[in-house]
Amino acid sequence: MTHHQNNEIKFCPYCGTPTQKKIVYEKVRVFCPDCNWVYYEDPKVAAAVLVQQNGSILLARRIFNPNKGEWTLPAGFIDAHEDPEQAAIRECLEETGLEVNISGLREIISGREHDRGADMVIVYDAEIIGGILTAGDDADEVAFFPLDQLPPIAFQATRKVIKSLIQKNNPS
């Protein structure tokens, strides 16, 4: 997985000196030879909601690449200093028009799937408390799908949540 090699930090954000690389805490990191600032890449964290209704789950179809035209749980990045539950509620409202209440933490899924993706996705269980089902933001369609009639799914994280739901519903 390439981690931002093509848009690396070339100048120190504090003093403007061209950066260099050295090993810091057992990893090659960008640093400033002038003021000794070291760049530590923070993880990108997303929040998602799993909304279930009559045996179906709420999915949103992506407008943008990667995976344009495929479906995913309503989700998005958590802003700095934002409560992850609030981020999940906000993203659900932006993408689906539905107001939800978080009813529990379902799962935390790690692993960046693509360069612009999240390093971890916090998936919450949620129930609808208001709003009208309408696609918005980076979704062009939203709908409920029965677990046995799913559309093409965009990401591994969504697939993992669906797989565990199906296993829970059909214990062998």
45-169 and 1-41 share a CATH fold: no
- Higher-scoring residue by pLDDT: 138, 45: 45
- pLDDT of 170 above 80: no
Query: Domain spanning 45-169 has what CATH number?
Result: 3.90.79.10
Is residue 41 annotated as a catalytic residue, yes or no?
A: no
> Which H or E run includes 99?
strand 98-110
Any idea where the domains of the chain sit in the sequence? 1-41, 45-169
As a residue count, the chain comes to 172
153 forms bridges with which residues in the sheet?
Answer: 71
Per DSSP bridges, beta strands 71-72 and 27-31 are unpaired
pTM: 0.84
What is the third-level CATH fold of 1-41? Answer: Ubiquitin Ligase Nedd4; Chain: W; (2.20.70)
- Which residues, including other chains, have CB under 8 Å from residue 39's CB and lie 6 or more apart? 9, 19, 29, 30, 31
Question: Which of these is catalytic: 8, 41, 82, 141?
Answer: 141
Query: pLDDT tens across 7-24, in order?
Result: 689 999 999 999 999 999
- pLDDT of 65 above 60: yes
